[in-house]
Amino acid sequence: MTYQSRGRSIFEVVLAICFVAFLIGFITVLCIGNYFRAKRAQERQRQRREAKQASQTGGVVGRDSNMERGVHGKGGGEYEAPTLPQVGGSPGRLL
């Protein structure tokens, strides 16, 4: 028994393959872009946290400061997440 094309031309098959390849590529690009955006945001958050800790302790906080004094305290105060400044509008409204 042989494979039947069910009435589809070679053009339709190639068009379907191109469409699927485009969808896979588009989703891949979105995922890669989101990964790098999240990586930059994480780095900015780390820098803000270290700047806040440095201003609280009065010293310079290096990249490995959490490893030196332990991640869970024994040398610093409780961690408080940074907050974004309010830029007009009503509080609690995102846009």
DSSP string covering 48-80: HHHHHHHHHHTS---TTHHHHH-TT-SSS----
Whether 5 is covered by a domain: the verdict is no
Q: CB–CB of 79/46 below 8 Å?
A: no
Q: Over the chain, what is the mean pLDDT?
A: 78
Query: Is the residue at 66 inside a domain?
Result: no
Residue 90 predicted with pLDDT over 90:
no
Is position 16 within any domain? no
pLDDT score for 5: 62
- 63 vs 15, higher pLDDT: 15
Give a yes or no: residue 47 inside a domain. yes
Give the pLDDT mean for 31-48: 96
Q: Give the global pTM.
A: 0.47
- How far, in Å, CA of 70 to CA of 75, rounded? 8
Whether 12 is in a domain gets the answer: no
Residue 60 lies in a domain: no
**Residue 46 domain-assigned?**
yes
Which pLDDT score is estimated for 84? 72
Distinct helix (H) and strand (E) counts, the chain: 2, 0
Task: Please report the pLDDT score of residue 51 as a whole number.
Answer: 93
pLDDT range class, residue 1, cuts 50, 70, 90: very low
Tell whether 41 is covered by a domain. yes
pLDDT bracket for residue 94 (50, 70, 90): low
Its domain, for residue 46, covers: 29-54
* Number of domains present in the structure of the chain: 1
